[in-house]
């Protein structure tokens, strides 16, 4: 009996595309119904993989239809025959009919991305959701978030509670020695709204009003005061004991008495707690140079001091958590308001953020019975295939589970039962920021089963793509990595099922090179990586490889821009993506703001962008004062100080000539020549007709900024520079990975959620 619920653990190059296409074809050809493909839903992660899978299925059906395929059947043909247990001739007949029917009804060929499926599902329920069926899908949330924050700030003075919260937030920043301007912080915090990992936590907070948050903060402050009193009490007790024995000088470097003085002065954060704890742990709190009589007295006193110190440490730990929570609670109260406003804006404009698709389904559609959902969408899927499951968000999986469960468990007989195939590799999970959790896939591979029918697990152990040397290196590397993790769950990703079988391919090569530690000299390291990358590419060309054989992998857009600009300067043909967008160039953004200043010389936002560009390499000691002083300059003074130009001459010149003059004066084309060069071309072409104005150009820019990019050599023979995310699923003869010392996860503001009323929770929590 063939299993209806299967999970394939498929490492890189193990033939998962073959397995998925083979399974789809077996489901499609396993029925006598010519339109049975309408009952199959294959979900992939990207448009590229869905198109590849469609092409694979169609080309296979075409191949199956040929008579010569029976004499010399391809491997996928054999796989389908084995699955269906019918003759090659019968498969040929069915394939010919299915292909013809499918091509005439192509819109029912359901191989799509998860986002596309969610999009169609929401559109089917547009009336129930009270949104127009012509709603616009918004990929980038920045514009809506910015408008939401602007509307929130505009309510200052009108809404007393929100005003109190905003002022409170500004005061927190000032107390920490930061700028009172909270707009940047609100933008950073608002990223939580579009991150599925935080969806459930933010959902819980939506029932709370701003007043609730402010009241909670007052309760937390009370708890902090209580802890402060308790700490001071223990401090006094310690000081009394030390003074009574006259042993103040018996401590190493006056460490402990000094620590107590800091606490008495209410320095509850910068108080050397960690270093004092180490001295206690090493029995080094008492100096060995003190008189033996002192040492004897201190040895007797020490057990009591240790008890007091442990109490102080626990209370300080609780105090610090409450302090962090207290500082976060006001911004959190504003976050719920920003989300509320963003929903209002989306409704007004008939727009939906793609990041909210799965939330809408989870809240509004998931509870509906599966037959009703199928009726609304016009599809009744029986067989599901999900690719890249490790990158499927938990919200998406939660939304799909009822539909899949209905297909798997509602058949009256074995023949009527639906099926599910999950394919994934937890090592390749790249989208945790979108709610993906590789541990979910590991759980499903182990004990977890959300369905009533049994599952079948299959490892695809052989790497058909890479040469033996590459596979062998990866096996050893993953084995090493698995021992470096602190948590077993992470170690398991690389230890269980990570080892791949070798194949007959020979001739692979792996080289790992290290550079001398340059300390804080970041520019030296960057230059070394750039030169080494160029040298490696050139050496490969000398060996007989072509540019198109080579791919440079980077972690982020900044690294991508560095590599692309450097290679272009050295006449290396390059193909890239995001980093080539003109909007991603800080120099181009300066030129855009200069166009805005021609229209409105009082535009302070434009001035800020220009100032930020000039201080990015070397910031002044007091950034706030520098900004304040620079923004107060007259426009003429501002231009002379920053651009070494006359504003009057800048305004009077033709727009292209004016921007060209700035470009030459600041040598922007030498810093980011490719981006600036193509921007100047766009500017020239736009104003060529002669009857266009600056505000027309700004409208053109806002409309097209997601498309305007550096145009590189688009011929096939070019080096590809890709981020790791974009390179997923691709293959190249040569892969170069500079900047390998960069951190895999850079987060200076990691968020940890605590329960509401945290100060009243069990003390173990704190």
pLDDT tens string 311-360? 988 999 889 888 888 888 888 888 889 999 998 998 888 888 888 878 88
Q: Write down the pLDDT at residue 287.
A: 66
With 0-12 CB in 10 A as exposed, 13-18 as middle and 19+ as buried, what is 126?
middle
Q: Are residues 587 and 684 in the same domain?
A: yes
Domain with 316 in it: 227-320
Q: Write down the pLDDT at residue 595.
A: 92
Q: Write down the pLDDT at residue 765.
A: 46
**Selection from 729, 725, 496 nearest residue 14 by Cα:** 729
pLDDT at 748 over 60: no
Q: Write down the pLDDT at residue 434.
A: 64
Sheet-wide strand order for 419-424: 111-113, 40-44, 383-386, 419-424, 5-10, 456-460
Q: Are residues 675 and 591 in the same domain?
A: yes
- Mean pLDDT calculated for residue range 433-454: 82
Q: What is the pLDDT of residues 263-279, one digit of tens each?
A: 888 888 776 787 778 77
Q: Are residues 330 and 316 in the same domain?
A: no
Q: Write down the pLDDT at residue 118.
A: 85
On whether the CB atoms of residues 757 and 608 are closer than 8 A, the answer is no
Among 430, 460, 490, residue at a domain's last position: 460
The CA R_g of the chain, rounded to the nearest whole Å, is 32
Q: Are residues 200 and 349 in the same domain?
A: yes
735 forms beta bridges with 551
**CA-to-CA distance for 267 and 608, rounded, in angstroms?**
36
Which residue has better confidence, 20 or 247? 20
Residues 6+ apart with CB under 8 A from 698: 592, 595, 596, 599
Pairing between β-strand 719-723 and β-strand 351-353 as defined by DSSP bridges: unpaired
Q: Is residue 132 part of a domain?
A: no
- Mean pLDDT calculated for residue range 144-160: 87
Residues 6+ apart with CB under 8 A from 284: 252, 278
**CA-to-CA distance for 154 and 152, rounded, in angstroms?**
5
CB atoms within 10 A of CB 220: 21
SS (HEC) of 698-712: HHHHHHHCCCCECCC
Q: Is residue 71 part of a domain?
A: yes
pLDDT at 82 over 80: yes
Report the phi/psi class of residue 177: left, alpha or beta, with left for phi > 0 and alpha for psi in -120 to 50.
Answer: left
- Most confident of the following: 106-115, 373-382, 694-703: 106-115
Q: Is residue 26 part of a domain?
A: yes
DSSP 362: I
Q: Is residue 746 part of a domain?
A: no
- Mean pLDDT calculated for residue range 645-663: 90
pLDDT at 521 over 80: no
Which segment of 294-308, 463-477, 677-691 scores lowest on mean pLDDT? 294-308
Q: Is residue 541 part of a domain?
A: no
Q: Are residues 413 and 332 in the same domain?
A: no
Q: Is residue 480 part of a domain?
A: no
pLDDT at 20 over 50: yes
On whether the CB atoms of residues 507 and 469 are closer than 8 A, the answer is yes
Alpha carbon separation from 339 to 15, 174, 267, 365, 751 (Å, rounded): 43, 25, 37, 20, 18
CA atoms within 13 Å, Cβ hemisphere of 244: 7
Q: Is residue 537 part of a domain?
A: no
Q: Are residues 147 and 207 in the same domain?
A: yes
Q: Are residues 197 and 272 in the same domain?
A: no
On whether the CB atoms of residues 61 and 80 are closer than 8 A, the answer is no
> In this structure, is the dihedral angle defined by the CA atoms of residues 673, 676, 682 and 688, taken in order, positive or negative?
negative
b/e per residue 473-512 (b: at least 16 CB within 10 A): bbbeebeebbeeeeeeebebbbbebbebebeeeeeeeeee
Q: Is residue 569 part of a domain?
A: no
- Mean pLDDT calculated for residue range 395-404: 88
Q: Write down the pLDDT at residue 90.
A: 93
By three-state DSSP, how is residue 393 classified? strand
Total domain count, the chain: 4
pLDDT at 518 over 60: no
DSSP 361: I
Which residue has better confidence, 401 or 759? 401
Note the pTM of the prediction, 2 decimals.
Answer: 0.70
Which residue in the block uniquely carries the two structure tokens 């796989």?
A: 79
**Selection from 555, 569, 486, 479 nearest residue 527 by Cα:** 569
Confidence of residue 540 (pLDDT cuts 50, 70, 90): very high
Q: Are residues 100 and 194 in the same domain?
A: no
φ, ψ at 360 (rounded to 5°): -60, -45
Q: Are residues 301 and 280 in the same domain?
A: yes
pLDDT at 293 over 60: no
By three-state DSSP, how is residue 111 classified? strand
Please give the helix or strand (H or E) that residue 8 lies within, else none.
strand 5-10
Q: Where are the beta strands (DSSP E) in 281-338?
A: none
CB atoms within 10 A of CB 465: 14
pLDDT at 519 over 90: no
Q: Write down the pLDDT at residue 763.
A: 43
Q: What is the pLDDT of residues 605-620, one digit of tens each?
A: 888 888 888 887 676 7
Q: Are residues 398 and 446 in the same domain?
A: yes
Q: Write down the pLDDT at residue 745.
A: 55
Which residue has better confidence, 442 or 337? 337
Q: Write down the pLDDT at residue 671.
A: 61
**CA-to-CA distance for 247 and 290, rounded, in angstroms?**
9
- Most confident of the following: 183-192, 202-211, 382-391: 382-391
Q: What is the pLDDT of residues 50-78, one digit of tens each?
A: 888 999 999 999 999 988 888 888 899 99
Q: Write down the pLDDT at residue 485.
A: 76
Q: Write down the pLDDT at residue 174.
A: 78
**CA-to-CA distance for 698 and 685, rounded, in angstroms?**
14
**CA-to-CA distance for 480 and 468, rounded, in angstroms?**
18
- Mean pLDDT calculated for residue range 99-124: 90
Q: Are residues 301 and 342 in the same domain?
A: no
Alpha carbon separation from 367 to 123, 363, 449, 508, 640 (Å, rounded): 17, 8, 20, 52, 64
**CA-to-CA distance for 321 and 224, rounded, in angstroms?**
10
Q: Write down the pLDDT at residue 716.
A: 62
pLDDT at 525 over 90: no
Q: Write down the pLDDT at residue 762.
A: 46
pLDDT at 387 over 90: yes
- Mean pLDDT calculated for residue range 358-386: 81
Among 704, 738, 758, residue at a domain's last position: 704
On whether the CB atoms of residues 391 and 429 are closer than 8 A, the answer is yes
Q: What is the pLDDT of residues 197-215, one digit of tens each?
A: 888 888 888 888 888 888 8
On whether the CB atoms of residues 472 and 511 are closer than 8 A, the answer is no
Q: What is the pLDDT of residues 570-608, one digit of tens each?
A: 999 888 776 678 888 888 999 999 999 999 998 888 888
Q: Write down the pLDDT at residue 58.
A: 95
Q: Are residues 254 and 180 in the same domain?
A: no
CB atoms within 10 A of CB 614: 16
């Amino acid at each position: 009996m063939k299993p209806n619920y299967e999970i394939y653990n498929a490492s890189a190059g193990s033939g998962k595309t073959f397995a998925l296409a083979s399974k789809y074809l077996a489901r499609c050809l396993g029925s006598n119904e010519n339109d049975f493909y309408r009952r199959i839903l294959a979900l992939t992660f990207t448009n590229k993989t869905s198109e590849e899978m469609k092409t694979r299925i169609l080309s296979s059906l075409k191949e199956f239809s040929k008579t010569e395929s029976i004499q010399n059947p391809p491997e996928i043909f054999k796989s389908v025959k084995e699955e269906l247990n019918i003759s090659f001739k019968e498969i040929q007949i069915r394939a010919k009919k299915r292909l013809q029917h499918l091509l005439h009804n192509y819109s029912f060929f359901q191989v799509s991305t998860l986002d596309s499926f969610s999009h169609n599902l929401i559109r089917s329920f547009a009336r129930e959701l009270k949104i127009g069926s012509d709603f616009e899908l918004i990929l980038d949330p920045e514009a809506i978030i910015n408008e939401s924050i602007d509307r929130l700030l505009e309510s200052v003075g009108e809404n007393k509670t929100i005003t109190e919260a905003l002022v409170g937030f500004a005061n927190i920043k000032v107390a920490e020695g930061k700028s009172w301007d909270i707009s940047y912080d609100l933008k950073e915090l608002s990223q939580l709204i579009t991150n599925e990992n935080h969806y459930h936590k933010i959902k819980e907070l939506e029932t709370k009003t701003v007043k609730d948050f402010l009241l909670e903060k007052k309760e937390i402050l009370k708890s902090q005061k209580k802890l402060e009193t308790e700490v001071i009490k223990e401090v006094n007790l310690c000081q009394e004991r030390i003074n009574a024995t006259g042993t103040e000088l018996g401590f190493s470097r006056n460490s402990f008495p000094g620590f107590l003085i800091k606490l008495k002065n209410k320095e509850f954060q910068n108080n050397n707690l960690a270093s004092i704890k180490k001295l206690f742990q090493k029995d080094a709190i008492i100096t060995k140079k003190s008189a033996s009589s002192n040492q004897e007295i201190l040895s007797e006193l020490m057990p009591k001091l240790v008890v007091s110190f442990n109490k102080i440490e626990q209370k300080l730990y609780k105090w610090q958590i409450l302090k962090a929570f207290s500082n976060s609670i006001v911004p959190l109260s504003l976050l719920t308001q920003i989300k509320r406003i963003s929903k209002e804006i989306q409704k007004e404009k008939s727009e939906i953020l793609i990041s909210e698709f799965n939330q809408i389904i989870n809240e509004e559609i998931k509870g509906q019975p599966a037959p009703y959902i199928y009726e609304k969408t016009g599809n009744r899927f029986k067989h599901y295939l999900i690719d890249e499951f490790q990158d499927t968000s938990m919200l998406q999986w939660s939304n799909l589970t009822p539909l899949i469960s209905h297909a798997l468990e509602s058949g009256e007989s074995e023949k009527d039962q639906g099926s599910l195939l999950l394919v994934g590799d937890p090592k390749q999970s790249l989208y945790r920021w979108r709610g993906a959790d590789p541990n979910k896939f590991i759980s499903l591979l182990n004990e977890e089963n959300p369905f009533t029918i049994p599952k079948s697990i299959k490892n695809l152990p052989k790497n058909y793509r890479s040469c033996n040397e590459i596979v062998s290196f990866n096996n050893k590397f993953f084995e090493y990595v698995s021992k470096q993790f602190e948590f077993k769950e992470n170690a398991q990703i690389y230890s269980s099922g990570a080892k791949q079988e070798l194949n007959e391919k020979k001739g692979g090569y792996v080289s790992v090179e290290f550079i001398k530690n340059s300390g804080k000299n970041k520019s030296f390291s960057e230059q070394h990586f750039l030169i080494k990358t160029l040298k490696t590419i050139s050496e490969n060309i000398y060996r007989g490889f072509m540019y198109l054989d080579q791919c440079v992998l980077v972690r982020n857009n900044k690294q991508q821009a560095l590599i692309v600009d450097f290679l272009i300067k050295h006449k290396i043909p390059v193909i890239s993506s995001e980093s080539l967008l003109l909007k991603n160039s800080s120099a181009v953004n300066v030129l855009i703001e200069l166009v805005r200043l021609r229209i409105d010389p009082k535009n302070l936002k434009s001035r800020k962008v220009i100032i930020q560009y000039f201080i990015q390499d070397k910031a002044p000691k007091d950034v706030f004062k520098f900004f304040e002083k620079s923004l107060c300059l007259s426009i003429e003074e501002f231009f002379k100080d920053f651009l070494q130009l006359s504003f009057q001459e800048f305004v009077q010149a033709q727009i292209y000539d004016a921007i060209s003059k700035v470009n030459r004066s600041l040598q922007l084309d030498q810093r980011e020549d490719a981006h600036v060069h193509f921007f100047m071309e766009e500017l020239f072409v736009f104003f060529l007709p002669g009857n266009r104005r600056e505000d027309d150009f700004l409208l053109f820019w806002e409309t097209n900024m997601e498309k305007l990019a550096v145009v590189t050599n688009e011929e096939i023979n070019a080096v590809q520079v890709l981020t790791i995310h974009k390179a997923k699923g691709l293959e190249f003869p040569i892969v170069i990975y500079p900047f390998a010392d960069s951190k895999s996860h850079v987060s200076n503001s990691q968020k940890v959620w605590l329960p509401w009323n945290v100060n009243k929770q069990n003390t173990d929590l704190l």
